[in-house]
Chain A
Amino acid sequence: MTITKSTQYSRRRSRLSRLFAWVCLACTVLCVCVLFVLLGSILRHGAPWLTATFLTSYPSRFPEQAGILPALVSSLWLIALTALFSVPIGVGTALYLEEYAAASTWRRLVQLNIANLAGVPSIVYGILGLGLFVRTLALHRSILAGALTLSLVVLPIVILAAQEALRAVPGSIRQASYALGATRWQTVWFQVLPASLPGIMTGVILAISRALGEAAPLVAIGAATFITFIPNNPGDEFSALPVQIYDWAARPQAEFHDVAAAGIIVLLTVLILMNASAVYLRYRYGKRIRW
């Protein structure tokens, strides 16, 4: 009697256990499905609108004539300048924290500060950009102001990724370099940086992808949604892919929603190209290092 009871009990427990595994699996499948439903819906709506005219035209009041060219060029300007500002400062900070600074209160403070900055909403950076770059430094609503704002947004990402890459370089490499009489900078420049380059590049591309998709800080500093010229220097007014998409998606007409989907396809294509190059770089330069 007691034996059957306990068998029943243990059967029920193992059934429950299996049920739980299925529930967890369902959660995972759901996460994966979200991505595919999202991409499917965008492709279905946007693909018919993705024409050569769309890629080479300016924004328009009429959905058939609306194009993405100025937004695309602005976005390329923005990410190029953002990389130019954020990579040297970000990698420099990581080098300072990992290779130079002694364990001190100052170092802990900087590290804590970076962790906190990573959690600040991007719209708050937009407000900072508005107060500091647009008004105090009088850069107005220029590409330069936009790129400086985006640089601050992605700086924590660059720093944290570069720190991780630097930490992965074994200490023995540094000791060997010092033993041969190299100075600290020679060790960093000729040994540590080359060894950590693939990791740093992955982080940089991740950060630039983030900059490419950010609309909130740009809207806050006053990015335009209707520019009818190609921006050709950092002082020009600008739009951006996500800002343009936002504008289209916010309009009431359904046709503009499809135009927005076409814009999203362009944005995601640029993102995928960048990430593919990250994978390639990691593969290409990652092979040389053996320890």
Chain B
Amino acid sequence: MGSPPINGEIVAHRRKWGEDIIHVGLFCCAAVSILTTVGIVGVLVVEAAQFFREVSIVDFLTDTRWSPLLKPQHFGILPLMCGTFLVTVGAAIVALPIGLGAAIYLSEYASPTVREIVKPILEVLAGIPSVVFGYLAVVSISPIIRDWFPSANVFNAASASIVVGFMILPMVVSLSEDVLRSVPRSLREAAYALGATKLDVTVKVIVPAALSGIVASFLLALSRAIGETMAVTLAAGASPKLTLNPLESIQTMTAYIVQISQGDIPAGTIEYRTIFAVGLALFVVTMSLNVLAQWFVSRMQEKYE
């Protein structure tokens, strides 16, 4: 009791302190990610609340015109939503069938060598910046579309859809391939044993078994397409319009945010606050798709674990 603490105890004591400090430091690192979410929601909600003090939510969601920079001002988000919807559906038509086909090929048919070659190529494709795809849309795809359909605008939703489709393609392939490969081998073998062809096994056994995972990969890709910005800004134009014609020039939610950020609109005005309202809408839409995708993933996991 009265004896002085021996050296080892001091070292152990000091060590305990050091360990605790490190633990707290790492905890703070983890807290940054939570604070990021709080920050995103905070900034969007606070600024959007100011916006909604001047524009009613009902008008925002039901007015069919979006013209915050022109008199008379209209703040109906439907045309922007429609533009985003048009581009996303177009991208889905391009990417989902091709992506699923390629995923089936890589998981069910390809030899290991082919897979070793194709997967890195897809990774490179996935790593190409969005602005590069925007360039491709403007310089290569849009002229082709105008050759085929002379009525098409220089900036059109179709060229944006096609390049966004290319952008989300590697994501669809790699996520879908992962889920196809996670289907237990026993299911395949049982089907072959019953005399099924490879087509039967794939279409009637493997794909249905992996369906929730495939749906999840589609949803994540769509969420990515909705949030895609630079390619769409370059290719689709800047005229918010309530149309389903892919040959017309439209504007998406993301492209509108870019347009306003680039202009000289002073902070604190209603025009400026529109980007936070549009940003909030974008955040809610993509977040819901992501949460839905996670629900599908967990359903897939429950089935086979």
Contacts and interface: CB of A to CB of B under 8 A. Distances in A.
With a 10 A CB-CB cut-off, give which of A30, A92, A135, A249 has the most chain B CB atoms.
A249
Interface of B: 15, 18-19, 22-23, 25-30, 32-34, 36-37, 39-40, 43-44, 47, 97-102, 104-106, 108-110, 118, 121-122, 124-125, 127-136, 138-140, 166, 169-170, 173, 197-200, 202-203, 220, 223-224, 226-230, 233-234, 254, 257-258, 261-262, 267, 275-276, 279, 282-283, 286-287, 289-291, 293-294
A120 B197 contact: no
A257 B131 CA distance: 12
Main secondary structure of the interface of A (DSSP, over half): helix
A175 interface: no
Nearest to A89: B29
Given A35-B121, A155-B32, A213-B130, A119 B223 contact: yes
Given A34-B166, A126-B257, A257-B135, 6 more contacts: A31-B173, A96-B29, A100-B23, A115-B290, A120-B40, A122-B227
B199 A16 contact: yes
Contacts of B39: 128, 132
Contacts of A131: 43, 47, 276
Interface in A250-267: 250, 257, 260-261, 264, 267
B36 A27 contact: no
Interface in A15-60: 16-17, 20-21, 23-28, 30-32, 34-35, 38, 41-42, 45
Contacts of B258: 123, 216, 219-220
A87 B73 CA distance: 45
A125 interface: yes
Contact of A124 (B23, B127, B220, B283): B283
Interface string A130-150: 111001000000000000000
Given A35-B121, A249-B131, A257-B138, A159 B286 contact: no
A165 B26 CA distance: 17
A267 B132 contact: yes
Nearest to B285: A121
B169 A34 contact: yes
B287 A242 contact: no
Main SS of the interface on chain B?
helix
B27 A96 contact: yes
Chain A contact patch, size range: 35 or more
A14 B131 contact: no
A89 B32 contact: yes
A122 B229 contact: yes
29 contacts: A14-B197, A16-B197, A17-B198, A24-B102, A27-B98, A27-B100, A32-B122, A38-B166, A42-B132, A89-B29, A89-B32, A90-B29, A110-B34, A112-B294, A114-B33, A116-B37, A120-B227, A121-B286, A124-B40, A124-B227, A124-B283, A127-B257, A127-B276, A159-B33, A216-B254, A220-B258, A257-B135, A271-B127, A275-B127
B105 A92 contact: no
A101 B131 contact: no
A123 B106 contact: no
A20 B127 CA distance: 30
B211 to A, nearest CB: 17
A119 B290 contact: yes
Contacts of A275: 127
